[in-house]
Structure 1
């Protein structure tokens, strides 16, 4: 991302969601993005993933400039080179677990590699559950299916938006372990938006957004260190509000 800005509205009502993001993330890395409400986290993820178009600046995926792509080109990019994991899982209830995992391949018009799906389901602890429907699985298991689906096309980047937000602490830790393993064992590149310091502690680095800018960053750190940095980042805002 180079000089990425995103504005909404016009004139005095203009909202500066991103004010100039310069960032380069290496392949095979795990980055967590944190920040107070309204800091620009969601806009950051949407612009980086080609789900929203920056007002200014450029976004490159590998050697591909995606900023000027039309909607059809962006759709193809998202199907073939990007993976997504959401808080709400977003599985299709009418499809089996295996069919959900293979869906990106099906949408991209390529060969549906059932052996690849079977391998990924085994990696996420769901071996033998390919014929089940999402409703037959727990929330944690459904998120495991979503992770397998995100990885099935061997994407350049997986974007995860609050992937543990709907899970209990133990299940969340298991899911984070799977994401960490995807980076370490499969060479995946993951960008994860989270509000949870414990989740961010799984990442190689943590970026802190504030008022549409990268305000700080930490190398891989403990949850306590991340929480303290987050508190320091938001303290002036709370103090100002209290005043």
Structure 2
């Protein structure tokens, strides 16, 4: 299908050179909301690297900092301190215009709410990132990603005519159409039944294994997390644990233990496949 296009620099002006070995790097990342006694420390110094072409699940109890982690890693929120690099590109101090271009050209996003435009057809929703980036919509490319997610025959339909699982697959096709270096997914199976969730997770896994896409997924579901290569567990804004190749049962057990204790031990380091 030809989804391995040339990578672009942060400003979208040309191919990236000297590709960094890691897709995502966080160094000493902190995020604080408010000041003084009422300050909320959502992230308390996160240090980690995520390899290219890996699938990482992020878990943790409610209020652990999962969503803040994803937002800071994806350039949707600015950390209070520390450094975030995407493919070797420092984004922490990047201007908003360049950051917007980077998100449109090098990143993909899938959320629990499908965020499809109801007045547009499936195909029009999929090529929307191209339009927003000022590019001419590539219908052949759109057809390719829709075929990959099993919805090629639904290209002319509107989201309201599709099931929830089909709508999430459209959202995934939209995220993949720009050939992103990193695909960030926030509870992508949260609104789906078990069977449909497995289909979506299989597509995410396939994007990693066949396209070399790096996937970072926030989830509360140990079964979903078990599809990943690595599981990061956050607690109280810190990296409390990381698991590699863990089963759903092992992940659930660790989460239960952590929730009961609520005394996370900070961990830093490097993930390798």
Same fold (TM over 0.5): yes
When normalised by structure 2's length, the TM-score is 0.86
Quick one: distance in 2 between partners of 1:4 and 1:173?
A: 32
Match of 2:6 in 1: none
Inter-partner Cα distance in structure 2 for 1:188 and 1:113: 20
Match of 2:218 in 1: 193
Shift, 1:221, TM fit: 1.4
Partners in 2 of 1:4 and 1:236 — Cα distance? 24
> Which of the two has greater helix per residue?
1
CA distance in 1, matches of 2:150, 2:250: 31
Alignment of 1:105 with 2:130, yes or no, is yes
Q: Stretches of 4+ moved more than 3 A in 1?
A: none
Q: Paired residues, what number?
A: 238
The 5 Å alignment of 1:85-104 reads 85-104=110-129
The answer to whether structure 1 residue 160 and structure 2 residue 185 are counterparts is: yes
Q: Which residue among 140, 157, 167 is the counterpart of 2:165? A: 140
Match in the other structure for 1:150: 175
The residue aligned with 1:241 is: none
Rounded Cα–Cα distance in structure 1 between residues aligned with 2:159 and 2:44: 40
2:153 is paired with a residue whose SS is coil
Deviation at 1:116, TM superposition (A): 1.0
Who is 2:93 aligned against?
68
Does the Cα contact within 8 Å between 2:235 and 2:262 map onto a contact in 1? no
Structure 2 unpaired stretches of 5+? 1-25, 264-273
Superposition deviation, residue 237 in structure 1: 3.6
Distance, in Å, in 1 between the alignment partners of 2:211 and 2:181 is 11
Residue among 45, 62, 76 paired with 1:37: 62
Q: Secondary structure at the match of 1:128?
A: helix
**1:4 matched to 2:26:** no
1:36-75 CA-partner distances (Å, limit 9, x unpaired): 0000001000000101000000101112110001211111
Give the match's secondary structure for 1:24.
strand
Match of 2:108 in 1: 83
Asked if the contact 2:126–2:177 (Cα under 8 Å) also holds between the matched residues in 1, the reply is: yes
Say which SS state the counterpart of residue 31 (structure 2) adopts.
strand
- For residue 239 of structure 2, the aligned residue among 214, 223, 231 is 214
TM-score normalised according to structure 1 size: 0.96
Note the C-alpha offset of 1:114: 1.1
Q: SS of the residue aligned with 1:209?
A: strand
Alignment partners' CA distance in 2, 1:26 and 1:236 = 30
String of CA shifts for 1:140-167, please: whole Å, max 9, x gaps: 0000000000011011110000000000
Cα distance in 1 for residues equivalent to 2:141 and 2:229: 27
State the shift of 1:111 in Å: 2.5
